[in-house]
């Protein structure tokens, strides 16, 4: 099965603007927060905002202080008159495209036009437009048939709901021009809607079926499904990957995946990932095994061992391996336990990994604690200094992660609120346990400058890996309340930082080799930077990579940076165990 994802899928500009404004207000802390009606027609977005403390009410009088948001679909003139209340800060999140339609309806009504609105009569946006167009004096139609049934109009003006089908509008316009030669009109279909519909129509000839992702109340999502059905294709409209029917979908070879304007990127990625798992029994089983290993953090253990082995052949010796294994077990355990705690912090997981962890919390927790216990047992056979460093790592983990147990929905304060603190802690912990601490406790043939160069390039590579994952899901991280580096610096600066982290390890290792500080196998670490660069290019080409593919692209760099130097040491017999 091949899956083609429409690049225009997901948040439109108006929805992204509204969500960003809500998140900005949450950061200011001017609560309580309430939306007058649903902000958008998507259950995952509403659920994520509810976790952040944003409520919803159909009665603006429920707002008692704090901030009241006006939904993206706009509100009627009567509703607008009721939102102004003492002590309540009102933030209007009406989509500017809808706002333009409201202003146009009001101006044409005041000029004496009889406004005809092409749209869904019960939709909130249409209700708002009609109120601005004179209320009951305005007409709402849904297609050419309704246009034929309109009474005689002396001064008609035709406009549209912003999410209307452009081809339906053309058909209605043809009827209206024939019936009313003096007709004036303006299409108020937003550019995003038109682009989304046109792209889907271009992709339909390549498809056996179409999967449309979006809320059931979403008008633009329903419109996409209708366009696909009109082309004679089977259509599966779902809100999440859990609604996909494997038995039905396995019979199709070419699937087009598109999504409504209020569908978050993480939902699209999870649907795409689930579709890719349906590629035949053998492929699906293999993908399922890889998915379990990656989402359960089990790949961390061999990755840490590989990077530790590379450190041993470049700046250490074979005596490091017990310490490397102890450190790898500790990294696997602590990183896994942090994931479990973080999954509990977000009751409605936005990430695929969080959902995976929530469903398997108990067995995963047992495996992580077992790994930590084994790490402690191994440390008993190592110098006491190793045990002290290991205890320090566990203490640092407790200080950083255990506050999640007491979280009430808002991100914790302290060091966790510092942008990039998680990434920096992750990177430095790996460098410490797979290189610096083994060197301090067990020694090695390399001098401190060589160890410093090798450790620094490890930190930079690991930071690049974390930045790559953060860049893939800026939207999801913002919705979940994370303070990542890309959310603080912005995409362009973060991309520049990513390339710096990918390139500097190459420069550092090349410098160390040129100065005779590092042996030739150390040059094999270039593979990690090359993997990161290739992973970035592949993910950028795909607008909605699955979380599994993103983690393989990022974490594969750790395996490459560890395995290649180790193999090089054997091939060139530079320093063999």
What residues are annotated to the active site? 125
Q: Which residue has the tokens 């530079």?
A: 574
| C-alpha torsion 201→206→210→211, nearest 10 | -100
The Cα-based distances of 379 to 439, 440, 517 in angstroms read 15, 14, 30
C-alpha closest to that of 39 among 23, 19, 24: 19
Buried-exposed string 173-185: b where 16+ CB fall within 10 A, e elsewhere: bebbeeebeebeb
Written as six digits, the tokens of 316 are: 């250490």
| Beta-bridge partner residues of 201 | none
C-alpha closest to that of 259 among 223, 222, 214, 218: 214
C-alpha closest to that of 224 among 73, 39, 19, 9: 9
Please state, in angstroms and rounded to a whole number, the distance separating the CA atoms of residues 377 and 382: 10
DSSP string, 173-228: HHHHHHH-TT-EE-----HHHHHHHHHHHHHGGG-SEEEEES-TT-HHHHHHHHHH
Written as six digits, the tokens of 410 are: 């808002």
Listed in order, strand segments (DSSP E) in 43-113 are 54-57, 67-70, 89-92
| Beta-bridge partner residues of 91 | 69
Sequence-separated (6 or more) residues with CB below 8 Å from residue 367:
336
Written as six digits, the tokens of 59 are: 């009665």
């Amino acid at each position: 099965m091949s899956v083609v994802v429409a690049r225009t899928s997901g948040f439109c500009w108006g929805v992204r603007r509204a969500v960003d404004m809500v998140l900005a207000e949450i950061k200011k802390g001017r609560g309580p927060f309430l939306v007058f009606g649903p902000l958008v027609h998507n259950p995952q977005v509403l659920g994520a905002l509810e976790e952040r403390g944003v409520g919803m009410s159909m009665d603006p009088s429920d707002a008692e202080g704090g901030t009241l948001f006006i939904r993206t679909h706009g509100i009627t003139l009567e509703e607008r008159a009721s939102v102004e209340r003492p002590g309540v800060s009102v933030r209007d999140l009406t989509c500017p495209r809808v706002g333009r339609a409201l202003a146009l309806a009001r101006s044409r009504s005041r000029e004496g036009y009889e406004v005809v609105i092409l749209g869904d009569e019960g939709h909130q946006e249409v209700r708002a437009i009609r109120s601005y167009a004179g209320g009951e004096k305005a007409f709402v139609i849904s297609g050419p048939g309704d246009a034929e049934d309109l009474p005689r109009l002396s001064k008609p003006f035709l406009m549209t709901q912003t999410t209307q089908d452009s081809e339906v509008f053309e058909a209605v316009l043809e009827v209206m021009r024939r019936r009313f030669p003096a007709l004036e009109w303006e299409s108020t279909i937003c550019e995003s809607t038109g682009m989304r519909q046109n792209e889907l129509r271009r992709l339909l000839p390549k498809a056996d079926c179409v999967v449309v992702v979006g809320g059931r109340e979403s008008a633009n999502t329903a419109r996409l499904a209708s366009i696909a059905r009109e082309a004679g294709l089977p259509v599966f409209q779902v809100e999440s990957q859990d609604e996909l029917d494997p038995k039905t979908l396995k019979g199709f070879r070419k699937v087009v995946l598109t999504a409504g304007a209020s569908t978050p990127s993480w939902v699209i990625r999870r649907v795409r990932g689930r579709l890719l798992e349906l590629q035949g029994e053998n492929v699906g089983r293999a993908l399922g095994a890889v998915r379990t290993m990656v989402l359960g953090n089990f790949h961390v253990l061999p990755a840490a061992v590989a990077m530790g082995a590379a450190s041993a052949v470049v700046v250490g010796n074979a005596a490091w391996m017990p310490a490397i294994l102890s450190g790898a077990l500790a990294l696997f355990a602590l990183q896994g336990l942090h994931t479990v705690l973080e999954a509990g912090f977000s009751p409605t997981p936005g990430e695929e990994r969080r959902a995976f962890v929530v469903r398997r919390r108990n067995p995963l927790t047992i495996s992580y604690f077992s790994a930590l216990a084994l790490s402690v047992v191994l440390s008993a056979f190592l110098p006491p200094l190793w045990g002290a460093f290991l205890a320090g790592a566990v203490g640092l983990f407790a200080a950083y992660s255990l506050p999640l147990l007491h979280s009430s929905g808002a991100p914790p304060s302290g060091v966790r609120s510092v942008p990039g603190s998680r990434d920096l802690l992750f990177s430095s912990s790996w460098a410490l346990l797979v290189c610096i601490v083994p060197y301090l406790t067990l020694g090695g043939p390399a001098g401190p400058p060589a160890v410093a160069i090798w450790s620094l390039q490890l930190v930079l590579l690991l930071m690049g890996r974390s930045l790559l994952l953060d860049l893939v899901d800026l939207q999801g991280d913002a919705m979940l309340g994370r303070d990542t580096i890309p959310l603080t610096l912005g995409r362009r600066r973060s991309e520049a930082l990513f390339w710096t982290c990918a390139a500097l390890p190459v420069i550092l290792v090349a410098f160390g080799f040129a100065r005779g500080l590092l042996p030739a196998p150390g040059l094999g670490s270039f593979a990690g930077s090359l993997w990161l660069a290739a992973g970035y290019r592949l993910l950028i080409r795909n607008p909605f990579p699955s979380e599994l593919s993103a983690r393989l692209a990022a974490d594969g760099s750790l395996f490459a940076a560890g395995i290649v130097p180790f193999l090089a040491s054997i091939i060139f017999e530079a320093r063999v165990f």
